[in-house]
Amino acid sequence: LIVETPDEVARASAARIAQAIRRRREPGGSVTIGVATGSSPLGTYRELAALVRAGELDFGGIDAFALDEYVGLAADHPESYHEVIRRVVTEPLGLDPARVRIPDGLADDLDAGCAAYEAAIEAAGGIDIQLLGIGGNGHIGFNEPGSPLASRTRVTVLAPATRADNARFFGTVEQVPTRSVTQGVGTILDAEELLLVAQGASKARAVAQMIEGPVSSRCPASALQLHPRAVVVIDRAAAAEL
């Protein structure tokens, strides 16, 4: 779906999430959403929060799973995804904090934490709709180029380009953690619906590789081509290389 502006990306993606939630809720069904960090989905959350304030949508009783977390950042570090999700998702949307799960980047045994995260998603009945952004290098979650398309939740090493991109949140690139815990590409593909949002010229190349390039671990987002219900919502600038 190509729209003109970032505001339209926000409105169209929020409308799709709202629709997915309403559809599954009736009658009395449970809903599990997958939420993403990064700047791309911020407009989507803003629009969803407006629907909540207007009384048109209610996140009560909804389970949520985040895609990823940095390894080694204290949970209350302002850029930890625990903190970011609380700030931009849980509080504005009125989700129950006890129902919002985020990978543990501080576990003594990170691998055991990854396995537990996979089990928690499964116990919730899987993710109904997963919101995604895309990295400039084609990453989804923190699945950097080279990530196997069948990968599961695991520890990954951040690409230098990703650390450079995210330095804007930390001050200097040295302060950006070097590793993450992320849902794998295979984990993401298990969601019933995928909704990827991207805006701006800096994403145009990655968007073109995702949609028109070969399905390849060199562009992890190209795995969306394998998914039967994947929707990509982008603005004109992000569509420039299609």
The count of chain residues that interact with ligand GLP, using the rule CB under 6 A, is 14
Quick one: 105 or 133, whose CB is closer to ligand GLP? 133
Beta-strand ranges (E) seen in the chain are 2-3, 32-35, 63-66, 68-70, 100-101, 129-132, 154-157, 179-182, 193-198, 230-235
Residue 83, token pair as written in the block: 């903190």
Q: Catalytic residue at 69?
A: no
Query: Minimal distance in Å, beta carbon 28 to ligand GLP?
Result: 32
Q: Which residue among the candidates 68, 128, 165, 193 is catalytic per the annotation?
A: 68
Output 111-118 pairs: Cβ under 8 A, ≥24 positions apart: 111/154, 111/155, 113/181, 114/152, 114/153, 114/154, 114/155, 114/181, 115/153, 117/65, 117/153, 117/181, 117/183, 118/152, 118/153, 118/187
Please enumerate in sequence order all residues whose Cβ is within 8 A of that of 3, keeping only pairs 6 or more positions apart, or say none. 9, 12, 233, 234, 235, 236
Q: Catalytic residue at 212?
A: no
Contact 162, 137 (CB under 8 A): yes
Find the part of the chain contacting ligand GLP (CB under 6 A) among 19-27, 33-41, 82-90, 204-212. Answer: 33-41
Query: Minimal distance in Å, beta carbon 36 to ligand GLP?
Result: 5
Q: Catalytic residue at 227?
A: no
79 closest CA partner among 203, 167, 183: 167
Q: Catalytic residue at 137?
A: yes
Pattern of binders to ligand GLP over 151-190, x per CB under 6 A?
-----------x---x------------------------
Q: Does 43 bind ligand GLP (CB under 6 A)?
A: no
Contact 71, 105 (CB under 8 A): yes
Pattern of binders to ligand GLP over 108-147, x per CB under 6 A?
-------------------------xxx-----xx-----
Quick one: 113 or 141, whose CB is closer to ligand GLP? 141
Pattern of binders to ligand GLP over 52-91, x per CB under 6 A?
---------------xx-----------------------
Q: Does 36 bind ligand GLP (CB under 6 A)?
A: yes
Quick one: 16 or 139, whose CB is closer to ligand GLP? 139
Active site residues: 68, 137, 139, 144
